[in-house]
Amino acid sequence: MFNFRTVEETAAVWGVTPRYVQHLCQEGKIKSAVKRAGSWFIADDEPNPVKNTKADDNTLEFVGTKKKIFDNSIKLFVQKGYENVSVKDIAAAAGIRQSAVYNHFKSKQDILDTIFEFYRYYYISYRPDQNELESLLKTGHLKDIITKGFIYEFDEGILGQMASITKLIMQRITMDESATDIFRKLLMEEGIRFVEDGLNRAVELRRLAEVDSHSMAVLINCVRLYDLLCWLSNPPYETFMKMKEDEQKLYGILSTLLEDLNPPANK
């Protein structure tokens, strides 16, 4: 008979965030995962399906030489195109010998795979987790549910990397199955499902009136993608801040399409 762990307990053992474990459960990548009363539970002998986590030697929090290789690979792939960059080019940009690259990565393809894995992990990890969203759905103001519950807030230190990798994904979307998969499954399908599940949960809690949650989720995700593409085409920080202002205004308009059945008292 299996013993089961909560999402939080599993995340601690695997060295990832609870948000990412939830994502793996929803994607069907954890065979033993079962959902009870709105929460996921995972068998304690379930093998870790995630590579390059904080629990591994090959951590996603790169330091030293590996960080130099990783960072410079992203820059070169974006600037010159993946096919036009060699391991020799990467080594030269990092200021190391070519042989040193292979101490950290098996090949140029392994570097690209790790970059994409990094993106998937942090994209999921920087959105509200299940407990945060549940609390907001119960007690937050209606506009907060839209503007905080479904938004991805990246730390300044990782923001630039995520933007650069997004550019790389867009460059390779028609020629690389992994890039296509990230755009379709992560940025589109998962982004919509995340919002749709949250809105359906708010209806279950009798916080919101019945709503076409799928259409609303599509609209919210379209705003996110629109702002993302605008920023990528004009990346200065000032543009990013203007984008955030526009984003908040658009989400404010969308919130007027929802009916709050149990609004919290004004503070």
Convert the chain into a string of H (helix), E (strand) and C (coil): CCCEEEHHHHHHHHCCCHHHHHHHHHCCCCCCCEEECCEEEEECCCCCCCCCCCCCCCCCCCCHHHHHHHHHHHHHHHHHCHHHCCHHHHHHHHCCCHHHHCCCCCCHHHHHHHHHHHHHHHHHHCCCCHHHHHHHHHHCCHHHHHHCCCCCCCCHHHHHHHHHHHHHHHHHCCCCHHHHHHHHHHHHHHHHHHHHHHHHHHHHCCCECCCCHHHHHHHHHHHHHHHHHHHHHCCCHHHHHHHHHHHHHHHHHHHCCCCECCCCCCC
The residues spanned by each domain of the chain are 4-43, 64-112, 129-255
Place of tokens 């020629």: 175
Comparing 266 with 260, which gets the higher pLDDT? Answer: 260
Find the mean pLDDT for residues 192-200: 89
Find the mean pLDDT for residues 162-184: 92
For residue range 65-121, what is the model confidence (pLDDT) as tens digits?
999 999 999 999 999 999 999 999 999 999 999 999 999 999 999 999 999 988 988
Q: Which fold has domain 64-112?
A: Arc Repressor Mutant, subunit A (1.10.10)
For residue range 109-166, what is the model confidence (pLDDT) as tens digits?
999 999 998 898 888 877 777 778 888 888 888 877 887 777 777 667 777 888 889 9
Comparing 22 with 60, which gets the higher pLDDT? Answer: 22
Q: Which fold has domain 129-255?
A: Tetracycline Repressor; domain 2 (1.10.357)
Find the mean pLDDT for residues 195-208: 90
Find the mean pLDDT for residues 186-193: 88
Find the mean pLDDT for residues 43-65: 67
Identify the burial level of 217 via C-beta atoms within 10 angstroms of its C-beta, where 0-12 means exposed, 13-18 middle and 19 or more buried.
Answer: buried
